[in-house]
Structure formats: structure tokens, C-alpha cells
A and B are shown apart, each in its own frame.
Chain A
Amino acid sequence: NAGVTQTPKFQVLKTGQSMTLQCAQDMNHEYMSWYRQDPGMGLRLIHYSVGAGITDQGEVPNGYNVSRSTTEDFPLRLLSAAPSQTSVYFCASSQLAGGTYEQYFGPGTRLTVT
């Protein structure tokens, strides 16, 4: 199993550009999430999905869109990039284990918006 994969690893955008961060998992997990990590703030939830065709907003959804057409893929779209979206983005998938949901994280995408 490759686990959770993310592409690209690094990306530089200009303000106003759009792009899609890719996330895929091969563990057949129902639940998938996107987080952003900023210094001194930990990880904050952007969007999440409980299954194909179902998505919902997390703590910081503004400026981002998601879709979930298959169990495996959960892309994150930046509609019009802003410098405030400079961050490291992590995708995670979850399974129920030992009474709670255990999250598996991808390696991250480091995004810089100039």
C-alpha cells in the first residue's frame, strides 16, 4: 500500500492564480480531510469528506473547494490564490480503529503564494 499520496510536493503560485492539490489513498478509507499547517497554529481543518459525493466545511474553508467523486481521490482547489494561503497542506484519510478514527497523513504540499 502506498498509503496517502499528495502531489505536488512544492508549488509556487502568483496571487490570483488557481490550482489543484491532489490527494489519493489506496486503503479504502471512507473519511478524508484536508488540513493546513501554519507556524504556531498547529493543523487546522479546511474541508472533509465522509464518503464519495459528500463533503463539508471545516474550520478554515474560505478560498478552497473540494469534491469527492471516488473513494480514492480528494482534490483541494484554490480558486484565486492569496498570500495568506501560503502554508503546508496535509491530506489525511481515516478509519475506525480501537473505538475512534485513526488518521493517516500524506507527506504534505508546501505552497508559496507571491
Chain B
Amino acid sequence: AQSVTQLGSHVSVSEGALVLLRCNYSSSVPPYLFWYVQYPNQGLQLLLKYTTGATLVKGINGFEAEFKKSETSFHLTKPSAHMSDAAEYFCAVSSNDYKLSFGAGTTVTVRA
């Protein structure tokens, strides 16, 4: 069984500030971890994924995430927020099959 907990349903940041979205997972097998972004009225788009190997993963739009097995975490960061980063972000876990378990999502608001 696997599950994901995203801490904080809403995050508000100033433009140019650090974006930090928290994700903790539970999995009975080595996990595969994903972050997706959903812009208003659109489908989900893959930001980045962790499978094996390097624990710091770089994705699109300047985002990165670090897999920490000891903390069962996969937090998403971006050093400098842009207005275009306003969206909902979902963390997801898979046991390497085609079924994903999603967190509840975190809505990011960027203040000018």
C-alpha cells in the first residue's frame, strides 16, 4: 500500500521568493515519486520524477525536488517564484506500476 501527504493545502509566496512544497510518502516497496502541476482548467503536467539514482531531481520551469529516504520525503522547491508558477501542485507515488496515488494537492499563489 502507498500513500502521499502534502503539508499545506495553500501556499502564498512573493514574486522572487523561495517556493517550498512539502510531500511525505509511505510505501511498502522502493517508491517512484512524481510532482505534477495543474494550471487552471487544464490537465496535469509532469514537473519531475524520481526513479533511482541521484536523489536531487531537476525538472521543468526551474523546479527541483530531493528524495530523502530517511525522512520519507520528496519536497519540491524553486529558488525564485514567478507569477506564472501560480497553479495547483500534486505529489504522487507509484510502486513502478501504472497506478499513481496522489496527494490532496497544494495551491500556490504568487503575490506581486
A100–B42 alpha-carbon span in the complex (Å): 24
Given contacts A41-B104, A42-B90, A100-B49, contact A108 B43 (CB under 8 A): yes
Interface size on A, residues (CB 8 A): 26
Q: How many residues of B are counted as interface, with CB atoms below 8 angstroms from the partner's CB atoms?
A: 25
A88 CB to closest chain B CB, in angstroms?
A: 9
Closest approach, in angstroms, between the C-beta of B52 and any C-beta of chain A? 6
A99 touches B52 (CB 8 A): yes
Most buried by B among A35, A40, A100, A108: A100
Summarize B's interface: helix, strand, loop or mixed: loop
Interface centre among B46, B51, B97, B98 (most CB of A within 10 A): B98
> Is A43 engaged at the interface, CB distance under 8 Å to the other chain?
yes
In chain B, positions 3-49 with a C-beta closer than 8 Å to chain A are: 4, 9, 32, 36, 41-46, 49
Q: Is B72 an interface residue (CB 8 A)?
A: no
**Is B100 a contact of A45 with CB atoms below 8 Å?**
yes
- Complex Cα–Cα for A28 and B42 (A): 23
Q: Which of A58, A90, A94 contacts B43 (CB 8 A)?
A: A90
Interface residues of B (CB under 8 A from A): 4, 9, 32, 36, 41-46, 49, 51-52, 90, 94, 96-105
A interface residues (Cβ-Cβ under 8 A, vs B): 4, 31, 33, 35, 40-45, 48, 50, 58, 90, 92, 94, 98-103, 105-108
